[in-house]
Amino acid sequence: MSTNRTAKETLLRLASQFPVVAITGPRQSGKTTLAKMAFPDKKYISFDDKSMRELATSNPKDFLMAFPDGAIIDEAQKVPEIFDAVKFYVDNEEYVPGKYILTGSSQFRLKENITDSLAGRVASLKLMPFSIKELNSDNLLSDNAYDTIFKGFYPPLYDPQKHFIASDWFENYIDTYLDMDVKNLINPSNLSSFKKFIQLSATYSGQMVSMDKISKVIGVSAPTIKQWFSILESSFIIHFLEPETNSLGKSLVKTPKMYFVDSGLLCHLLRIESKEELLLSPHKGAVVETFALSELLKNRLNFGKKANLTFFRDQKGFEVDIIADWKHTFAIEIKSSADAESKLSESVRDYLGLRKDSNCKGSVFYLGDLTCEINGIKYISWKDWCKVEE
């Protein structure tokens, strides 16, 4: 696909400084495609190729000598020995920024090897699935918000040569994820329980999670559930949104909220089979909130920035969906309404009143087509959610 990724400029920026750049992110988010797009003249090696794998394993230093100008090394984690060889050449030869670009679909093993061998020598770029901005720039964005939310953002679903049906693709995606990423990290006898756990977790997207409740349903201990959530988070299936630490003189909750990273995968796990079912689903609000949080995440990570996203909730139940602590602080409410009504901003206005900070701005994300301002609060159309800082 020719879709130009927002993260390309960030990758080039990092590669102009660091000798090694690792592109991480969920399976099928377009990591290899991005690397080839950014460095069309750089040699490409894939350790999916058995012969390449055997050559690199038998003598990794000699293998890398064949690529004096560096290379894109795909599925690098399949040859753990290559990381020490990369370190050797980075440390002992002339400093060349962007010499090696590493990618891999197994985030756990890739990050483990990077941490062990390349600490201080490598920059990391987290690549998420497509954003609204990227789809829009390539004329791939539907005019209907719910079409987009239901389909999700994984690149293969937008490849005109592949004709994937979303439900079939997501079913295969989950099976591949379990077989390739999860199976080696948990007791194999728990694999079916883990799949049930993913399904159940979907019902909690946008909520604070009770490990004890989930453990009772699944039939494993609460510490095991906590470990399983950690696996989902490390592989970019979910994101935990921590509560804001600025107490504003109030007693705040301490439990994070959990969100799935892709609204299409979430719909699949919730067994929502069409846009029409989504419109009538009791989970509609949570799915829209998941969609919004994901867009904010992509917008930050694509530029190589930390997310710096939290939520506000006191023990009386007063809540603001997202607090974005950036150059300015943004208090953001997310609504599934298509109408920019002033009542949608009540929580934001109350929060701004509590905070009394001129650096804090209020925004409402909604599903209408017009971005506008009403009484000092910005109502941002779903197509413009990447423009919250503008």
Domain boundaries, the chain: 7-126, 142-387
Rounded CA gap, 191 and 45, in Å? 32
Residue environment code for 2-13, b if the CB has 16+ CB neighbours within 10 A, otherwise e: ebebbbbebbeb
Amino acid type, 258: M
User: 381 is written with which tokens?
Assistant: 């159309």
> In angstroms, how far is CA 317 from the centroid of its own chain?
28
pTM (two decimals): 0.94
User: So what's the pLDDT on residue 254?
Assistant: 87
User: So what's the pLDDT on residue 119?
Assistant: 84
In Å, how far are 176, 193, 194, 375 from 183, measured between CA atoms?
A: 10, 12, 10, 53
User: So what's the pLDDT on residue 251?
Assistant: 62
Compute, in degrees rounded to 10, the torsion defined by CA atoms 132, 134, 136, 142.
-50
Pairing assessment for the beta strands 20-24 and 122-126 based on DSSP bridges: parallel
> In angstroms, how far is CA 99 from the centroid of its own chain?
26
User: So what's the pLDDT on residue 23?
Assistant: 95
User: 361 is written with which tokens?
Assistant: 């701005």
Q: In what order do the strands lie in the sheet with 329-334?
A: 207-208, 257-260, 238-243, 309-313, 319-325, 329-334, 360-366, 377-381, 372-374
Rounded CA gap, 324 and 386, in Å? 13
In Å, how far are 108, 111, 116, 200 from 186, measured between CA atoms?
A: 13, 18, 22, 18
User: So what's the pLDDT on residue 1?
Assistant: 53
Which parts of the chain fold into alpha helices (H)? 7-15, 31-38, 50-58, 60-65, 81-92, 107-117, 132-137, 145-151, 166-177, 191-202, 211-218, 222-234, 263-269, 275-280, 284-301, 346-355
Long-range own/partner contacts, residues 371-378 (CB < 8 A, 24 or more apart): 372/340, 374/340, 374/342, 374/345, 375/342, 375/345, 377/342, 377/345, 377/348, 377/349
Q: What is the mean pLDDT of each run of 10 residues along the chain (390 residues)?
A: 84 97 94 96 95 95 95 94 94 95 83 83 95 94 96 96 94 93 89 96 96 95 96 94 80 89 98 96 97 96 95 89 94 93 91 89 95 93 89
User: So what's the pLDDT on residue 36?
Assistant: 97
User: 321 is written with which tokens?
Assistant: 């969906």
User: So what's the pLDDT on residue 382?
Assistant: 96
User: So what's the pLDDT on residue 319?
Assistant: 93
**CATH assignment, 7-126:** 3.40.50.300
> In angstroms, how far is CA 34 from the centroid of its own chain?
16
